[in-house]
């Protein structure tokens, strides 16, 4: 499972927004953070709630913990895996975690319902959501979905798809919308012409399956892929969310936030440069995925983070606006939008990630990955 299955609903109280930073949004902060040279010997206890179970989608966090990178920035971090009944933002706002990892669109809905949270680092710079089809369906662009059986997980995952369709003049009445399970069985059985697939998970599930006509595994050449980044309807996904009220009032929390972002991005850099080792770290942490699938996921997640021209974790104002606009204007099959109005100014800020990047640069960490090149991963049947 990926995306927003476990992110239905939100909680939290109301509150006024704080001042907008020069970087384009959010609460301003004082200088914070602790470099490796000045880190206190007494580590701050921090909990982070993931949006799903242990897997290489979260390689940054597991690598940072395993490699002592959080320790380097003065933190003792406990990673809390997600589950179907866990809503990360609810855990954050109820005090069960200090930070939460979740997709931006769903959290925008929670914010509109009253959750006081702030996106302090945008770990995934690109969307991993695609719509895939077999070549014989001749579906290469959203307009080609007209008259087809189109799969969607729902639970908030559908808005990139629906926005892409509407951008290409395809109404919901023009397709047969199929409720897609969080696997590719319906697609492989022919019940779905174009299925939702994350680049790092469901797409690989198809490539790990045998083509009954050839007896060999499917290959990328057997598929057409609609990538919402190319279409222009991608929405921001995995981000680090912090408690907005604590950011406004708690100096130690501000410092912890900078250090947590720094440690996490250092973990991302480790996973970028050591994909095989990072995949093994996640497996050792309890992931049930097969070896080749885990490595594929690590490699594909790296592609969503790197290269990062402005620095890993920086929130791009244009992509934030694109995400908000789609969330406000695109309707799903029930006629609902994710939000009805713009979020408050402190829904995101680049203040803390900017300070974290400064710390990392001083410590010699490559925070842009300008020369990043993905590795080649060979999938095995069933992802083994």
pLDDT for 70 beyond 80: yes
Return the CATH number at 249.
3.40.190.10
What residues contact 283, with CB distance under 8 A and at least 6 apart?
A: 289, 291, 294
- Do 110 and 242 share a domain, yes or no? yes
Domain membership flag for residue 18: no
- Do 224 and 262 share a domain, yes or no? no
| CA separation for the pair 214, 91 (Å, rounded) | 48
- Do 148 and 293 share a domain, yes or no? no
| CA separation for the pair 274, 71 (Å, rounded) | 19
* 8 Å CB contact between 63 and 96: no
DSSP 125-160: SS--EEEEEEGGG---SGGGGTTSEEEE--TTTTHH
Per residue in 209-265, pLDDT tens?
A: 999 999 999 999 999 999 999 999 999 999 999 999 999 999 999 999 999 999 999
pLDDT for 324 beyond 50: yes
| Helix ranges, the chain (H) | 59-66, 69-72, 88-93, 104-112, 159-167, 185-188, 202-207, 228-231, 244-249, 251-273, 275-284, 291-305, 317-329, 351-362
Per residue in 129-146, pLDDT tens?
A: 999 999 999 999 999 999
Mean pLDDT, residues 101-119 taken together: 98
DSSP 219-263: -GGGEEEEEHHHHT------EEEEEHHHHHH-HHHHHHHHHHHHH
Number of compact structural domains in the chain:
2
pLDDT bin (cut points 50, 70, 90) of residue 205 is very high
């Amino acid at each position: 499972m990926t995306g927003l299955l476990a992110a239905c609903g939100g909680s939290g109280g109301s509150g006024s927004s704080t001042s907008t930073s020069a970087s384009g949004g959010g609460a301003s902060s004082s200088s914070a953070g602790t470099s490796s040279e000045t880190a206190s010997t007494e580590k701050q206890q921090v909990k982070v709630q993931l949006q799903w179970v242990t897997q290489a989608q979260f390689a940054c966090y597991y690598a940072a913990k395993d490699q002592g990178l959080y320790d380097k920035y003065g933190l003792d971090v406990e990673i809390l895996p997600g589950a179907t009944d866990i809503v990360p933002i609810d855990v954050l706002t109820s005090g069960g975690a200090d930070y939460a990892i979740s997709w931006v669109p769903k959290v925008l809905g929670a914010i509109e319902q009253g959750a006081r949270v702030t996106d302090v680092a945008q770990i995934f710079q690109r969307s991993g959501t695609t719509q895939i089809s077999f070549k014989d369906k001749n579906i290469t662009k959203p307009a080609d979905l007209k008259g087809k059986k189109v799969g969607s997980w729902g639970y908030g995952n559908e808005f990139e798809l629906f926005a892409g369709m509407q951008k290409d003049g395809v109404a919901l009445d023009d397709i047969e919308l199929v409720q897609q399970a969080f696997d590719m069985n319906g697609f492989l059985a022919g019940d779905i012409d174009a299925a939702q697939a994350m680049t790092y998970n469901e797409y690989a599930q198809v490539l790990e399956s045998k083509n009954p006509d050839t007896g060999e595994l499917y290959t990328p050449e057997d598929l057409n892929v609609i990538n919402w980044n190319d279409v222009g309807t991608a929405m921001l996904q995995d981000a680090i969310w912090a408690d907005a009220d604590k950011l406004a009032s708690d100096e130690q929390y501000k410092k912890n936030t900078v250090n947590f972002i720094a440690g996490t991005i250092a973990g991302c850099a480790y996973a970028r440069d050591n994909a095989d080792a990072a995949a093994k770290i996640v497996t050792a942490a309890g992931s049930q995925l097969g070896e080749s699938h885990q490595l594929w996921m690590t490699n594909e997640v790296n592609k969503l983070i790197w290269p990062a021209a402005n620095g890993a974790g920086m929130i791009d104002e244009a992509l934030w606006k694109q995400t908000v606009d789609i969330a406000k204007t695109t309707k799903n099959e029930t006629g609902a939008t994710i939000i009805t109005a713009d979020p408050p100014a402190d829904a995101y800020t680049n203040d803390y990630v900017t300070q974290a990047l400064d710390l990392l640069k001083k410590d010699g960490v490559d925070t842009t990955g300008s020369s990043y090149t993905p590795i080649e991963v060979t999938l095995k049947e069933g992802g083994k």
